[in-house]
Structure 1
Amino acid sequence: MSVRTATASTAFAALLGAGALLLPASQTQAADRHGSHGRHDSPVVFAHRGASAYAPENTLAAVDAADDLGIDWVENDVQLTKDGELVVIHDTNLKRTTNAEEVFPDRAPWAVKDFTAAEIARLDAGSWFGARFAGARVPTLKQYLHRVERNRQKLLLEIKSPETYPGIEQATLRVLRKEGWLDRRHVKHKLIIQSFGGDSVKKVHTLRPDITTGFLGTPAVADLPSYAAFTDQINPSYSTISADYVAAVHKLKGAHGKRLQVNTWTVNDAANAAKVHEFGVDGIITNFPDVVRDATR
């Protein structure tokens, strides 16, 4: 389902971002972002689960909402169904963001892994967010990729709970390959794969060492070199980092021989966006991509 929305971004920016322009511009360190030396660029903004402040998360409507705001990068979560289909949903159960309890009352605990793709396709993934999104569906990864491609956007793809889904890395790469996302153009410019599972990130790097990868978490500084061997990014919660931590990450080179990067999550207000920008982060993952973009220009 494609729902093009006129968002209330201006109102949110005024509410959340008032005073952002009064914050000092970052003077802390020269950044080397995307191969560029000696300048401190604005961080890349990633629309978390799509522009999930404005449309139901991980739906095609959220992809479109990010596109409406002019956001190039969207983030999503992939999981495997009972019959091996990759679907885009965050929680490992269907309760919070669909009407699974109503449609399948006897299927507790409504785990994604216990449902087929056809069963999940029956669910309403939009009404919980707002009546105008009624009928939105949980997209398959294939459907999601088509929408991102249509919008000329880029994808930060999270492999969700890999310990629950043996073989999900290979399954994800198969879909990406089949849909044309593993050619040189996509791999170089339009795709990052991340996970909280270090072994999962390592597996993706082993299977496709050309893909940019990210580890979700905040490893101890002493452990960073071991992560740098198989990942290109350390992607921590904003509440766990400091300028010193970001600098420690940046001192290392990642799996592709370039400076290890930091994309932090989930920053939803102007003040914290400006703060982590001063820390020197390379990217910010957010439900309010317009607010973060405006606060870090």
Structure 2
Amino acid sequence: MLRRTVRIRQPLRGASGALAFVITATMASSALASGPDERQQLATRGGTLVSLRVGQREPFVIAHRGASRYAPENTLAAVDAAHSRGLVWVENDVQRTKDGRLIVMHDDTLNRTTDAARVFPHRAPWRVRDFTAAEIARLDAGSWFGKRFAGERVPTLADYLHRLDRNQQGLLLELKQPELYPGVEAQALRELRELGWLDRAHLRNRLVIQSFCVRCVKRVHKLMPQVRTGILGRPPISRLRRYARFADQINPRMSEVGSRWTRAVHRLSGPHGRPLEIYAWGVGAEASVRAVRAQGVEGVID
């Protein structure tokens, strides 16, 4: 399959902020196909494919758990797979180990995406918080996805941030089940600061912290007001004005997005003075660009 590089210059109102800049995207030639009905697959389009036609902007795509259609989720391989496909932002999930290390893992248990049940057969239900970081580092987090990913490890948050910096990618960081990990908001911010992710460049263009836990998002904003934040889910319209005091994004499941609700979100501005944005998830591989655009969302987490 032929590949080519496209350079696009235009304002991007999305997860990277309202800035005009040049993006270089490498993509498969099949992703450039565009018939009159615009049935392009979002799964094959990079987040940098903002517009290939004058005056038309397409939804910004954030790689869900990295490029998890092409590599094991939440691994460094998934970060690199996103990078190779021109995806300039990735989403991940953060949990905490028994000895207090932050790792990148979606589930609060290890057995679905690692060989924890084989390596530690007597420690069911293999909860993340019951294992040390050193124990988790022994696990294979890639073989379940495919033989060529055998030996892929569960990254620490520090490992993950270093790889994103190397690739010059942005991060939509989800605090996963923070009720299990008291103080994780402050801990995540400390680690981000230590690794240089709370400087002006990262704060402006490369970092958003989100959670289903509204009070945790509010806590992140209170601790570090400069950080952009997002609330996962679809809160009722009656709560949006209150949430706009500390959240820049409202990120629902795509099936829950409706025109009246979307208009209500966009009428409000977040704590940094910009209109609230919507990044929807659960879009599905068969969604068309036209269908997503019609929902009025800024982008998708897919």
TM-score range, shorter chain: 0.7 to 0.9
TM-superposed CA distance for 1:270, in Å, is 4.4
Aligned to 1:198: 214
Residue 286 of structure 2 is aligned to residue 282 of structure 1: no
TM-superposed CA distance for 1:125, in Å, is 0.1
Indicate conservation of the 8 Å contact 1:40/1:280, yes or no: no
Residue 287 of structure 2 is aligned to residue 271 of structure 1: yes
Residue 37 of structure 2 is aligned to residue 22 of structure 1: yes
TM-superposed CA distance for 1:254, in Å, is 1.0
Aligned to 2:136: 120
Q: Distance in 2 between matches of 1:215 and 1:113?
A: 24
Q: Distance in 1 between matches of 2:205 and 2:34?
A: 34
Secondary structure of 1:144's aligned partner: helix
Q: Distance in 2 between matches of 1:245 and 1:86?
A: 35
Indicate conservation of the 8 Å contact 1:43/1:282, yes or no: yes
Larger deviation, residues 137-146 vs 250-259: 250-259
Aligned to 2:163: 147
In the superposition, relative to structure 1, how do residues 103 and 67 fare at CA in structure 2: closer, same or farther (>3 Å)?
A: same
TM-superposed CA distance for 1:271, in Å, is 2.8
Larger deviation, residues 260-269 vs 51-60: 260-269
Counterpart pick for 2:153 among 132, 137, 149? 137
Indicate conservation of the 8 Å contact 2:59/2:292, yes or no: no
Hey, which bits of structure 1, 4+ residues long, moved more than 3 A? 17-21
TM-superposed CA distance for 1:24, in Å, is 9.4
Counterpart pick for 2:111 among 68, 84, 95? 95
Secondary structure of 1:248's aligned partner: helix
Q: Which has the bigger relative contact order, CA under 8 A and spacing at least 6? A: 1
Aligned to 2:173: 157
- The letter for the 2-side match of 1:152 is Q
Q: Distance in 2 between matches of 1:20 and 1:169?
A: 46
Deviations 1:142-198, CA, capped at 9 Å, x for gaps? 000000000011111000001010011111111100100000110011000000000
Indicate conservation of the 8 Å contact 2:38/2:289, yes or no: no
Q: Relative to total residues, which structure has the larger helix share, 1 or 2?
A: 1
Unaligned regions of 5+ residues in structure 2, if any? 1-26, 41-54
Deviations 1:202-227, CA, capped at 9 Å, x for gaps? 00000000000000010011111111
User: How do residues 250-261 of structure 1 correspond to structure 2 at under 5 angstroms?
Assistant: 250-261=266-277
- For these two proteins, the number of residue pairs brought into alignment is 262
Secondary structure of 1:155's aligned partner: strand
Aligned to 1:291: none
Residue 78 of structure 2 is aligned to residue 56 of structure 1: no
TM-score after normalising by structure 1: 0.84
Aligned to 1:78: 94
Percent of paired sites with the same residue: 56
TM-superposed CA distance for 1:243, in Å, is 2.4
TM-score after normalising by structure 2: 0.82
Indicate conservation of the 8 Å contact 2:39/2:288, yes or no: no
- The letter for the 2-side match of 1:277 is R
Counterpart pick for 2:184 among 158, 168, 173? 168
Deviations 1:230-269, CA, capped at 9 Å, x for gaps? 1000000001012222111000111212101100002232
Q: Distance in 2 between matches of 1:22 and 1:40?
A: 15
- The letter for the 1-side match of 2:91 is E
Aligned to 1:222: 238
Residue 83 of structure 2 is aligned to residue 67 of structure 1: yes
- Give the CA RMSD over aligned residues: 2.1
Secondary structure of 1:97's aligned partner: coil
TM-superposed CA distance for 1:278, in Å, is 1.3
Indicate conservation of the 8 Å contact 2:279/2:300, yes or no: yes
